[in-house]
Amino acid sequence: AAQDYTVVRFTPDYRRFGMEETGLTPDTLAILHRRVFDLAATLKGVKISLNGQRITMDGLRDYAKRCTENGEEGGGVIYYDFPSERWEVAIGIRNRFDEEDGTSQDVVSFVNNCATTKGGKHVSHVWDRCLAILRPWVEKRIQRDVRPAQIKRRLFLFVNALIDNPTFDSQLKETLLTKPADFGSEYTVNARELIRWAERVKLDELIREDITETKRNTNSRRGASQLLFVNKLEDAALAGGKSSGECSLLLTEGDSAKALAVSGLQVIGRERFGVYPLRGKLKNVSDMDRRNALAVPEVASLMAILGLDPNADYNNPEARRRLRYGRVILLTDQDEDGSHIKGLVMNIFRCLWPSLLRSPFLTALETPLIKAQKGSTTVSFYSRREYEEWAERTDDMDRWKIKYYKGLGTSTAEEAREYFKDIESRLVHYVWKDGDDEELIEIAFDRNKSDERKRWIEGGSVRSGDNSTEETISSKRSLRYSNFVHGELRTFAIQDLKRSIPSVIDGLKPSQRKILHTCLKMGPNKQEKVAQLAARVAHSTSYHHGESSLVAAIINMAQDFVGACNIPLLRGIGQFGTRHAGGTDAASARYIYAALSPMARLLFPSADDSLLESVREEGVEAEPRWFCPILPLVLINGAEGIATGWSTTVRPRDPIRIVDTIRRRIENEKNQRSIELPYYSGFTGTIDRMDETRIWCEGRITVEETARGARRMEILQRLIIDELPVGMWTSNYKTKVLGPLVKEGGIRSIRESHTDENVRFELELSSEMTKKMEK
C-alpha cells in the first residue's frame, strides 16, 4: 500500500501584498526558485521538485559547483568538506569581475536550513579556519605579504551549519549572532585537502595576478582613477580627475546618515561631493602593526575611495594632487558616540597618514542634537551642555516641545536640505598645530597610555594641550585636534563611564535604572512582553540608544541561575536562559514576559520615591538620578563594566551575611561576620581565597571505580561531575574540556542528566586515562 502523505496547496493574496492580480512578478519568482534550490542543497534525503520537475542536486557540493561555473580557470572546481553532521563547507573560485560589478555575493550560508543571506558568526568562524591555512600557503608561494581580504575576494564560500539555539538579528534570520563558543560544535578544516584544492585551481597565481593588476591600476595615469566601484559608494562625478582637489567625500555614520547626505546632494549637486557610509564603530588601529591596520576592511575601502598610498608623504603637493578627493567631511550623529567615531577616523589618519592631518583635510558637518520649539520659534542645540545651559535659563520649559536627534536618521529630507543649503558655514575644520595634537589623540586611543588616559578623563594634566571644555558650533569654524579631544572626545569618555560602570549607590547602570523605574511605575502585578517593555522603557524615559540593549538588560535582570543575580529585580515568565549556556539560550523577546520581582519593592520602598532626584530628558522628568536601596545591591548582585579608561568587577556576596553585618554595625557590635568571599545563590562547589587578590572557585567531582573483563582485572573509573566553577557554562565545558578528551580516547562514554538548575555529567574513562589519573 502507498504511504500516507500530505499535500498543501494555496494561492497567495496578491492584492494584500500590493501585487498584480496576474500573480508573481519575475523577481519574486526568481527568489522562490532560488529558495527551492537552497532546500535541495541543504535537505539531504528529501525529494524536491519545482513545477513538477525533480531537482537533482548532490547536496552543497553540487550547489557550489553550479554557482561557480563561470568560465574562468578553476571555475566549478570545488573544495568540499563534510567533517560532521553539523558542518558542511564548500569553496569555489570567484570571478574576478564579480566584486567590481557588484552583482555577485561571495558567501552563501545556511543555519539549520535557514538562508542567512547576510552571513554572521558561522561564516566568520569558517573564514577564520580556512584563511589560517590558505594565507601562509599563498604568502610562501608568491613571496609577499597578503591580506585576508585579497584572498577572500577570489573565493566563493558556501556554509551549511547546524547551530544549537541560534540567535539572529531579526525575524528575517538574515544574520547569525550566536557566538562560536555557543555553537555546540566547531568546524575543523581539512588542511591537506584544502591545500590540494588551492594547488589545483592555482589560487596563488590568481592572487598574484590580482595584486599585480591592482598595483598597475594604482600607478597608471590619473584619469584611470576616475572610474571606481566600491560597494555603497556614491562617487563624486569629478573625483579622480583634474578637479579632484575640489571634491569632498562625506563619510557618514551608517546607511541612514547616507540617506540624509543623498537628500542633501540635491542641494549641492554630485559633481564635487561623494558619499560613503561607515559600518558602525571603526576599529582602533593604534595597537595594530601597519600591515594589519591596512587590511581592516574600512581602511582598505578608504584607501581605494580616496586614492591613498600607504607610503606617500602628503606634505608633498604632487602626492596630494594624486588623491581622488581634496578633503573628507565627517557626517556622524551629533551625540557622544558620533564624537567617538570622529576620533576613530582621526586616529586612523594619525597612525597611517599623519601628513594629511597636518594640512587642511578633515572637516565635520555639524547638525543639531536637540531642537526646542514653541509656536513658530525653533532653537537648535549642537551639544547636550549647550541645551542644558539654555534650559536652566528658561523659565517656561513646559511650553517648549523638545526633540532629541539621537541619529541622523531622525532628520527629515527637508531638514537635510536645510543642513546642506549653506554647507560651508556649517563645517568645522580641524587644525593641526604641533606635537600636542598627536600626543592627545594617542593618549585617547593607545592601549599603553591608560594612566595618562585616566588623568585626561578626570580633567587633570596630561602633559600637553589646552584642557578646554566642549565648544559649541557657534564658537569656532576651526578647531584644534587637541581641543576636540579635550572637548567632544572627553565628553564621550565620561558618558561611556556613566553608562558602562554601575553606580556604587544602587548598583545599577542607567539602562537598568530606567527599566526598574518603568517597572516600579507599572506596579507588581503588571507583566508585559520583553519586546514591548523595552519599547515602553525607551519611550517613557527617553532612552537614546538601541532597544536591543534594553532587551538584553531586561533579560539579565530577570535571570536567577547560578552565576546570574542573587536577587533578581525582575520576574521572568518564560524561558530566560539557563546556566547551561550562560543565559544566551533565552527565548526571543517577543515570546517571554517580565514583571517586577516581589523583592524589588522591599529593597526600594515606595516611601523613598518622592525623595529621589529625577533626571530630565527632552524636557520631561525621567528616572531618578540614582535609587537608594535598603541593602547594597552592588555587593549582593555584584557589578561588571568596561568603559574608557576604567573597568570594574565586584563579585556578588551573601545577602544574609550582608544583612547580619549591617545589623551588627548599627548595634556597634565588634564580632561581625566576614563577607570577603563571593557568594552565588545555588552554587554547591567550593570558593576560597588563594591570596589577597585571587579567589579559587571549583566544581565538584565524585570518583567511582568499576572492574571489567573476564577476570574483573580491568579497573575503570567513572566520574560524576555535578557542579562546575561559576562562569563555566555546561555547553562550553562539554565542548572545550570534554570534547578534546573524547577525541583523544580518554573518555569512553558521556551521560548527561542536567536539569534547568543543576549540572550532572557521568563519564566513563578509558583504561589508559584511568592509569594516568592513578599516577
- Type of residue at 437: D
pLDDT higher than 60, residue 619: yes
Pairing state between β 248-253 and 273-278: parallel
Overall pTM > 0.75? no
Q: How confident is the model at residue 470 (pLDDT cuts 50, 70, 90)?
A: very low
CA distance linking residue 542 with residue 531, whole number of Å: 16
CATH 3.30.70.2190 correct for 697-774: no
pLDDT higher than 60, residue 220: no
C-beta separation of 569 from 557 below 8 A: yes
Alpha helices in 87-202 (DSSP H): 98-101, 121-142, 148-152, 191-200
CA angle 591, 593, 595 (to 5 degrees): 170
CA distance linking residue 207 with residue 136, whole number of Å: 13
pLDDT digits (tens, 9 = 90+) for 538-547: 989 888 887 8
pLDDT higher than 90, residue 560: yes
pLDDT digits (tens, 9 = 90+) for 563-614: 999 999 999 999 999 999 999 999 999 999 999 999 999 999 999 999 999 9
The residues assigned a catalytic role are 591
Q: How confident is the model at residue 669 (pLDDT cuts 50, 70, 90)?
A: confident
pLDDT digits (tens, 9 = 90+) for 414-452: 888 888 888 888 899 999 987 788 889 999 999 888 889
Task: Quote the mean pLDDT of the chain.
Answer: 86
Q: Please, where in the chain does CATH 3.30.1490 lie?
A: 368-404
Q: Please, where in the chain does CATH 3.40.50.670 lie?
A: 222-367+421-497
Q: What is the pLDDT of residue 73?
A: 54
Q: Give the SS3 label for residue 261.
A: helix
pLDDT digits (tens, 9 = 90+) for 66-88: 888 755 555 678 999 999 999 99
Alpha helices in 446-480 (DSSP H): 450-458
pLDDT higher than 80, residue 17: no
- Provide the grid cell at 249: 567625500
Q: What is the pLDDT of residue 697?
A: 94
| Run of H or E including 81 | strand 79-84
Alpha helices in 624-711 (DSSP H): 633-636, 655-666
C-beta separation of 501 from 479 below 8 A: no
pLDDT higher than 70, residue 332: yes
pLDDT higher than 60, residue 475: no
Pick the CATH number of 509-630 from 3.40.50.720, 3.40.50.1110, 3.90.199.10, 3.40.50.150: 3.90.199.10
Top-confidence residue, 489 or 414:
489
Average pLDDT over residues 43-48: 85
Q: What are phi and psi of 537, to 5 degrees?
A: -60, -45
Q: Give the SS3 label for residue 111.
A: strand
pLDDT higher than 70, residue 11: yes
Top-confidence residue, 35 or 692:
35
CA distance linking residue 514 with residue 211, whole number of Å: 53
pLDDT higher than 50, residue 472: no
- Among 2-11, 309-318, 459-468, 470-479, the range with the most confident prediction by mean pLDDT is 309-318
DSSP state of 735: I
pLDDT digits (tens, 9 = 90+) for 355-401: 999 888 999 998 888 888 888 888 888 887 888 888 888 888 888 88
Q: How confident is the model at residue 775 (pLDDT cuts 50, 70, 90)?
A: low
* Whole-number CA gyration radius for the chain: 30
Checking 221-227 for CB contacts under 8 A at 24+ apart, the result is: 222/322, 225/307, 225/324
- Type of residue at 265: L
Residue 113 CB contacts under 8 Å (≥ 6 apart), including other chains: 39, 42, 43
pLDDT higher than 80, residue 95: no
Torsion of CA 385, 386, 392, 394, to 10 degrees: -160
Pick the CATH number of 71-210 from 3.20.20.70, 3.30.230.10, 3.30.9.10, 2.60.40.420: 3.30.230.10
Q: Please, where in the chain does CATH 3.90.199.10 lie?
A: 509-630
196-205, 212-221, 275-284, 496-505 — which is least confidently predicted?
212-221
C-beta separation of 257 from 337 below 8 A: no
Top-confidence residue, 692 or 206:
206
Q: What is the pLDDT of residue 146?
A: 86
Q: What is the pLDDT of residue 465?
A: 42
Beta strands in 368-451, from DSSP E residues, in sequence order: 370-374, 377-381, 401-404, 427-431
Q: What is the pLDDT of residue 405?
A: 81
Q: What is the pLDDT of residue 134?
A: 95
pLDDT higher than 50, residue 174: yes
Q: What is the pLDDT of residue 691?
A: 84
Q: What is the pLDDT of residue 217?
A: 53
DSSP state string for 697-709:
EE-EEEEEEEEES
For the 222-367+421-497 domain, the top CATH level (class) is alpha beta
Report which of 270, 276, 413 is spatially closest to residue 332, judged by C-alpha positions: 276
Average pLDDT over residues 308-331: 92
Write down the architecture of domain 368-404 according to CATH: 2-Layer Sandwich (3.30)
- Provide the grid cell at 483: 581641543
| Helices and strands per DSSP (H, E), number in the chain | 29, 29
